Amino acid sequence: METQRPATPTVAPDPTADAYRAVSAGDCLAVYDTGSGGYNTQVPYRVGCGAGNAYVWVSAVRSSSSACSQGPGRNYMSYTSRGQTIALCLTRQFKVGYCLLAKQSGSGQSAQMRAGLMTGVDCDAKRVPAQYNQILHITGVYKAPANPSASNCARVQGDRTYYWSWVVNGGRTLLCTMVYRG
């Protein structure tokens, strides 16, 4: 008498998990924070690192988002499928001419600016998400000098532009911006 083996259960395909598994450290993704509480996509979309839409660089792939470095211009996106988490550690790729979202409080000498360093936005957007009120235009991305400040952002001698700056990329890069005026 022949014994029947139990049927092997079929596992439904998970294209999102497959997309996450296809990403390696060193890849670039067309992913950015929309400023509305999430990324522009839930599925990582790989692009060439020189592409105009290469907003982030994958610094590492981990099994937990807590294993990703945090800080200005760094974050992660993760996905859990069948009890396994894939975390993509992201570093923002800043490019001159691109724009990001910011929240300005105060004005004049007492003004403060909090930039959404993982955000991306059309420079000519007519509206911004509720938690932001400014669009910043990236004017420079430089190797961070000792004691960097916005004064390091001047593009020509005597430049009177008011710049906002951040030290990103683990302290290695000075990001220079100005409020976009269209």
pLDDT digits (tens, 9 = 90+) for 125-137: 999 999 999 999 9
Cross-strand bridge partners of residue 46: 29
**Residues near 165 by Cβ (< 8 Å), separated by ≥ 6?**
148, 149, 150, 152, 153, 174, 175, 176, 177
Q: pLDDT at position 142, please?
A: 96
Q: What is the average pLDDT across 98-116?
A: 92
Residues 112 and 171 in one domain: yes
Per the structure, how many domains does the chain have? 2
What pLDDT digit, counting tens, does each position of 45-61 carry?
999 999 999 999 999 99
pLDDT at 8 over 70: no
Start-to-end CA span in the chain (Å): 82
Q: What are phi and psi of 168, to 5 degrees?
A: -130, -175
Amino acid identity, residue 117? L
**Boundary residue ending a domain (92, 125, 147):** 92
Residues 125 and 53 in one domain: no
**Boundary residue ending a domain (41, 59, 92):** 92
| More confident: 47 or 11 | 47
Residues 50 and 108 in one domain: no
pLDDT at 9 over 80: no
**Boundary residue ending a domain (49, 76, 92):** 92
pLDDT more than 90, % of the chain:
79
Amino acid identity, residue 176? C
pTM of the model: 0.87
Question: What is the full DSSP assignment across 6-23?
Answer: PPPPPPPP-HHHHHHHT-
Domain of 117 in residue numbering reads as 99-179
Residues 25 and 69 in one domain: yes
pLDDT at 151 over 60: yes
3-class secondary structure, 40 = coil
Tokens representing 108 are 């004049």
3-class secondary structure, 90 = strand
